[in-house]
């Protein structure tokens, strides 16, 4: 059912607020509440956030866990930093695919307050000051004018959560309509599976061939797609094994959410690669 995305600096009170929301919905509804976050994965935060690839893997794991939990009945609370605008957009695309409402709860604190709260934690739960400062610097503030950041609830440390307003946001709002190119249909067409396999393989071959001549900053054109691979700097370093892994992930997802228009597959795969290589 609905997805509640927590957002804020490290040590800004996100987990406390997530627990408050979980308790409220468990006491006032008959719905099951899943609280998914860094603690769920048992990660060592300083090690993760000191390495961009590890951090990217954790974000992917959290998104996958949230997607696995979302259904027509339960509430999912995603308790993590969620500080990257592009990642919040990916979560918005997820709820569009599943056709369920969502909202964003932004725990607003100053960097000084977050730093103080960090030092008050048990030593093994603290961020190093270097990591905390870097995460604060990279933080992309949510903006309610963005579809993926709306409805937005900004909560300061002394505020009481607006439980009823959050409840209305996730229960009384219609889910955003899915993109026409990603609406589901029964997976019964043998031709669809053939085209899915062929088109994605053609895209990989186009990328690998272009790597021989591309330089950072180039846009890679692929057959059948109007969009281009935009992260050429990253594409140059991707090997066939990594590309095949991304292709398998895309195929698995697309089998569950087939498009009505086979001609959209190439563009969908390009969009998926651009987001995955971010």
Q: Which residue has the tokens 């006491």?
A: 27
* Phi/psi at 102 (5° precision): -150, 170
Residue 232 — pLDDT band, cuts 50, 70, 90?
Answer: low
Q: Crossing angle of helices 240-256/265-276, nearest 10°?
A: 120
* Phi/psi at 113 (5° precision): -65, -45
Q: Provide, rounded to the nearest whole percent, the portion of the chain with pLDDT above 70.
A: 87
H runs (alpha helix) in 172-231: 190-210
Query: Of 83, 79, 78, 17, whose CA–CA distance to 55 is shortest?
Result: 83
In Å, what is the CA distance from 84 to each residue of 56, 135, 147, 201? Answer: 11, 10, 15, 30
Contact assessment for residue 229 and residue 183, using Cβ atoms and an 8 Å cutoff: no
Read off the pTM.
0.66
List the structure tokens of 51: 């390495």
Residue 238 — pLDDT band, cuts 50, 70, 90?
Answer: low
Residue 178 — pLDDT band, cuts 50, 70, 90?
Answer: low
Q: What is the pLDDT of residue 22?
A: 97
Query: Of 102, 146, 114, 96, whose CA–CA distance to 5 is shortest?
Result: 102
Q: Give CA–CA dist 241/274, Å, rounded.
A: 17
List the structure tokens of 158: 């002394």
Contact assessment for residue 78 and residue 71, using Cβ atoms and an 8 Å cutoff: no
Average pLDDT over residues 199-219: 77
Q: Give CA–CA dist 278/276, Å, rounded.
A: 5
Contact assessment for residue 41 and residue 166, using Cβ atoms and an 8 Å cutoff: no
The strand order across the sheet containing 75-79 reads 33-37, 75-79, 3-8, 102-108, 152-156
pLDDT of 43-72, one tens digit each? 889 999 999 999 999 999 999 899 889 887
Q: What is the pLDDT of residue 214?
A: 64
- For the chain, the structural domain boundaries read 3-171, 180-276
- CATH code assigned to 3-171: 3.40.50.300
List the structure tokens of 135: 């995460």
Q: Give CA–CA dist 85/1, Å, rounded.
A: 23
Residue 136 — pLDDT band, cuts 50, 70, 90?
Answer: very high
Average pLDDT over residues 257-265: 76
């Amino acid at each position: 059912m609905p997805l509640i995305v927590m957002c804020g600096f490290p040590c800004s009170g996100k987990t406390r607020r997530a627990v408050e929301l979980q308790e409220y919905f468990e006491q006032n509804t008959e719905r099951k509440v899943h609280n998914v976050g860094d603690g769920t994965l048992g990660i060592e935060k300083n090690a993760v956030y000191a390495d961009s690839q590890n951090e990217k893997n954790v974000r992917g794991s959290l998104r996958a866990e949230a997607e696995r939990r979302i259904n027509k009945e339960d509430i999912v609370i995603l308790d993590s930093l969620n500080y990257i605008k592009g990642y919040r957009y990916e979560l918005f695309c997820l709820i569009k695919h599943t056709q369920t409402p969502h909202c964003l709860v932004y725990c607003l604190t100053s960097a000084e307050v977050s730093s103080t709260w960090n030092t008050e934690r048990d030593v093994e739960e603290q961020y190093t000051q270097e990591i905390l400062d870097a995460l604060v610097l990279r933080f992309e503030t949510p903006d309610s004018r963005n579809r993926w950041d709306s409805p937005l609830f900004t909560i300061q440390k002394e505020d009481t959560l607006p439980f009823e307003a959050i409840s209305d946001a996730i229960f009384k709002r219609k889910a955003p309509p899915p993109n026409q190119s990603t609406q589901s249909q029964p997976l019964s067409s043998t031709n669809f599976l053939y085209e899915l396999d062929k088109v994605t393989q053609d895209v990989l071959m186009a990328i690998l061939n272009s790597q021989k001549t591309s330089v950072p900053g180039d846009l890679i054109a692929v057959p059948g797609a109007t969009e281009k691979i935009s992260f050429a700097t990253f594409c140059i370093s991707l090997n066939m094994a990594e590309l095949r892994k991304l292709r398998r992930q895309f195929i698995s997802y697309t089998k569950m959410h087939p498009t009505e228009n086979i001609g959209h597959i190439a563009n969908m795969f390009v969009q998926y690669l651009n987001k995955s290589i971010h």
